[in-house]
Amino acid sequence: EDQVTQSPEALRLQEGESSSLNCSYTVSGLRGLFWYRQDPGKGPEFLFTLYSAGEEKEKERLKATLTKKESFLHITAPKPEDSATYLCARTSGSRLTFGEGTQLTVNP
């Protein structure tokens, strides 16, 4: 069974305080690992796709990395507008399995 586990469940940071979110997943049959951002009351917004161990992608203050068992979303010098729930998901074909998300709050 495909599984995705995210940690921590919630994270509070001060503006400018860098940190990382973790996503661990079942390895078997992995074809892609995705990161999404979700704001309250809205649908998830696509951020990154990673396909193979060692791959990295960046967008503004966010950088996603992938190892054989985990993915990390690094947030460098976050701003209050980065506050959101960050979702990790994996696909082994046409089905997509999400983690429960990490709720990030960045205080000014």
Partner 1 sequence: EAQVTQNPRYLITVTGKKLTVTCSQNMNHEYMSWYRQDPGLGLRQIYYSMNVEVTDKGDVPEGYKVSRKEKRNFPLILESPSPNQTSLYFCASSWRLAGRPYQETQYFGPGTRLLVL
Interface residues with partner 1 (CB under 8 A)?
Answer: 31-32, 34, 41-46, 49, 87, 89, 91, 93-101
| CB 32, min distance to partner 1, A | 4
CA–CA dist 92, 103 (Å, integer): 25
DSSP 51: -
| 3-state helix vs strand vs coil in the chain, percent to 5 | 5, 55, 40
Q: Which is nearer to partner 1, 76 or 97 (CB)?
A: 97
Pairing of strands 10-14, 102-107: parallel
Q: Which is nearer to partner 1, 17 or 45 (CB)?
A: 45
Q: Which is nearer to partner 1, 70 or 76 (CB)?
A: 70
